[in-house]
Structure 1
Amino acid sequence: MAERLDIGDICNRVVVFTTEDMTVKQAAELMRDEHVGSLVVIRDADLGRIVVGMVTDRDIAIVAVARDFEPQTLRVADIMNSPAITTRPDASVNEVLGLMRQHGIRRVPVTSDQGVLIGIITLDDLLEIFAEEMQVFVQAMTAGRHHEARTRV
């Protein structure tokens, strides 16, 4: 990568979130309606939306459904991953990839030092950036071959 990209520069600022008291059924419906595989769990505070956990479609399938819990009464707080693994907006791409690898996760909320939700970065987001960077490399290689072919004929 030519220049350092901070996660705050590339994270998605539109985040689908829930609260701890939402039912698992409501959370699943929200994921379906918003076409997302996870929800950031927040608690409203004077500072803003404080990240307290994450819940994924996999959590719902493995914890709630496979164990035969009642999704209409089970709460997000009962199945969420807490505390959430978060990152700062000034973190590097490599730092976030390290967090993802270390914790076996694909989505990381971006928070302020006080834990206030700023955005979210996903493995898919990072793959898209790397794909764009690889395209630049391919274009440079192709341009070099074309230049050489023209100058050496």
Structure 2
Amino acid sequence: MRMKVKDVMTTQVASVDASTPFKDVAEILIAHGVSAVPVVDDGRHVVGVVSEADLLRKEEFREQYYREGYRPPLRARLRHHLSLEGGRGRDKAYGDTAAELMTAPAVTIRPHASVVSAMRLMDEHGVKRLPVVDGDGVLEGIVSRRDLLKVFVRSDDDIAAEVREDILDDPFWAQPHDATATVTHGIVTLTGRMQHRSDAQLAARMTHRVNGVVDVIDKLEWTVDDTPVWKGR
């Protein structure tokens, strides 16, 4: 069974509203041990996200604004100038409330999205956590990189049982076989024989998609090679 965001997300979510002062946002981040919080309106709709990076802009450029001739570190200047937000970074440095500090629109995900989709979305946008919202954009939870790692802490016995019961023992296979699976540290080893080579290949691919599988060692044999033969010119 493919794990969904709803299976790993945190439902007790620290959030702020648009008028929350800078210091209060910082205290909430520290108190809850998180790197970002969603900003919600009166109906709990997510309107943005405030992260540690948003707050640190004020400190990062403070000297640039208030001390003549000061130049921030090269890394800070590059991040500032290459940012897709352009002048928005300078605005955040002056921000005093969540509305002025937040990144909007927020990158969100739905509870029934796959864990893989959440991983890809985080990687694409360079964020560490995603607010989880319903169809109307109402906050239901939050999913972090740490939450996504839960898919890899399943026991070997649990993974092996799923591979055997949901894949190898499924009546989907037209021909009987003696394929089986063993699991060590999340690595699945498939052994035995299947009737067709295409079936063996499909079983290996399906096993790769099981939550918690780190890798698959495919030692399956087959009786009939029914895969198409490529004929080059």
Same fold per superposition (TM over 0.5): yes
* Preserved contact between residue 50 and residue 102 of structure 2 (Cα < 8 Å): yes
Could you tell me the percent identity over the aligned residues? 31
| Residue identity in the other structure for 2:6 | G
| Residue identity in the other structure for 1:92 | S
Q: Which residue of 1 aligns with 2:51?
A: 56
The structure number with the bigger radius of gyration is 2
Q: Which residue of 1 aligns with 2:147?
A: 125
Q: Which residue of 2 aligns with 1:21?
A: 19
Aligned residue for 1:94, secondary structure, equals helix
Q: CA RMSD in A?
A: 2.4
Would you tell me which structure has more helix in proportion to its own residues? 1
Alpha-carbon separation, structure 2, partners of 1:101 and 1:108: 11
Deviations 1:9-50 (A, max 9, x none): 2210010000111111110011122222211110012xxx10
How many residue pairs get matched? 134
Alpha-carbon deviation of 1:70? Answer: 6.3
TM-score, with length taken from structure 2: 0.53
Alpha-carbon deviation of 1:128? Answer: 3.2
Deviations 1:74-109 (A, max 9, x none): 111111110100001110011111111111111001
Q: Which residue of 2 aligns with 1:66?
A: 60
Gaps of 5+ in 1: 145-153
TM-score, with length taken from structure 1: 0.78
